[in-house]
Amino acid sequence: MKEHGIKKRWFIFLLFLVLAFLVVYLQPIFFPRQVQTIRPQDSQAIVEGGNTTLQAEPIAAAGFAKLIGKPEKELEKQYGKPTESYDSGYGFTIKHYQSDEPGYLEASIKDGKIAAVKTTGIDGEPIAPFQLNMSMGDLAEITMLYPNFTIVNDDEAVEIELMEEDLNYRPLVTFDNGTYSILFFNAESKLIGVMYLTTEMLLELAPYNLVQGTPPKMEATVSEDQWEPIDQAKEKQGYQLFNLLREQDQLERYDTTFTLQGQSRDFLSRFLKKPANYLEENRYENFRKVTEDASNAVFMLSGQEFSEVARAVEVPDIDGFFETPCYDPTFQILSWYSDPFMHNRFMKKDPQAMAIGISAQNMVILFEDVKATKDSD
């Protein structure tokens, strides 16, 4: 009897096992699966670069945003005549103003109108609704951060996209008067500076990824023999701004030397004369596209490439970096300070000397330990 019971249980088990297999294999035949169709409006529209379905909503213009596009006298009413003024070489004039606060105020003037205002260390009503040292959380209470912007310039739509790092450190905000601002956050996610600018200036500087359209290019408006005084003015301005940012980080100011400054210019001259001597073929092609074709991209020397040029100029122990294009030194320096990797290069606590070399759209920064310098200014 016991043996008969065991056989019966095995028979029942095998019967259920066969039925289970029949259900699994015959189900697609008798109950075919329906294919899920996703309508275009139900999915995220993906183009090169990412999602472009969510477009930015403007916020009310305030502070410097109200001055963009206005005659430069509107800025002078509040801050007086500029303390310094020089040609940018690209169709606009760079002017510095004295602020009541210990900050930095600069404007780009084009055709007598304010094309951009750049600030760091300035707080209160001028940069409202933003606040110096505000966090990304504070910004989220003012506006959403948008990755995609469609900008109409001269009846042509240009679409740009902010990558993740841009959203975290250099978000773009649009105002209801058609102007824009780039917010610069440091590695601790604290606001250190703001740049207000026109549509044209935003597209010419091209700080973000281009998705589609043809933005206007930054064109040189001076001849080759006119660059030297412009380059020197920008070098001086950049040095002053770097030291202001160092003070804001509670670090010792950069020193400089005549020798180091000369080396920065030698570095540029040597590299720009024959860049193919220091770059692999594909890297040289990238450099050529950026500099000759005015592509919507930037070029930086790698660490090895930088070292090779430094050895050629007989300064093998010099640290630094080279980037092109750099049309606006203030915009460029604030951008570097809002890049976590680049910002760390400016945070060395030990005393250092620094030199800036500029040749038209090309910019090199050299660093040297102060203990190795002998002819500080």
pLDDT for position 194: 98
The amino acid at 300: M
55/167 Cα distance (integer angstroms): 14
Question: Residue 353 in 3-state DSSP?
Answer: strand
Q: What is the DSSP letter of 359?
A: E
Please name the helix (run of DSSP H) or strand (run of DSSP E) that holds residue 323, with its range, or none. strand 319-324
Cβ(107)–Cβ(72) below 8 Å = yes
Identify each DSSP E strand in the chain by its residue range: 46-47, 50-51, 84-87, 93-97, 104-110, 113-120, 148-153, 156-161, 172-174, 180-185, 191-197, 209-212, 299-300, 319-324, 352-359, 362-369
**Tens of each residue's pLDDT in the chain, 377 residues:** 445 555 555 555 555 555 555 444 444 334 333 322 222 222 222 233 334 456 788 999 999 999 999 999 999 999 999 999 999 999 999 999 987 777 899 999 999 999 999 999 999 999 999 999 999 999 999 999 999 999 988 888 999 999 999 999 999 999 999 999 999 999 899 999 999 999 999 999 999 999 999 888 899 999 999 999 999 999 999 999 999 999 999 999 999 989 999 999 999 999 999 999 999 999 999 999 888 876 678 999 999 999 999 998 888 778 899 999 999 999 999 999 999 888 888 998 888 999 999 999 999 999 998 875 444 44
Residue 55: count of CB within 10 angstroms of its CB: 12
Question: Residue 272 in 3-state DSSP?
Answer: helix
280/298 Cα distance (integer angstroms): 17
140/295 Cα distance (integer angstroms): 33
pLDDT for position 294: 62
Distances (CA, A) of 195 to 1, 22, 36, 60, 153: 93, 69, 47, 16, 19
pLDDT for position 46: 29
The amino acid at 144: M
Please name the helix (run of DSSP H) or strand (run of DSSP E) that holds residue 23, with its range, or none. helix 2-30
282/302 Cα distance (integer angstroms): 13
Distances (CA, A) of 53 to 43, 47, 146, 360: 10, 10, 10, 38
Find, among 63, 60, 84, 87, the residue nearest to 75 by Cα: 63
pLDDT for position 7: 52
Tell me the CA end-to-end span of the chain in Å, nearest whole number: 110
pLDDT for position 82: 96
- What does the longest C-alpha to C-alpha distance in the chain come to? 113
Cβ(183)–Cβ(162) below 8 Å = no
Residue 86 bridge partners (DSSP): 94
pLDDT for position 12: 58
The count of C-alpha atoms lying within 13 angstroms of the C-alpha of 306, restricted to the half-sphere facing its C-beta, is: 18
pLDDT for position 274: 94
pLDDT for position 315: 82
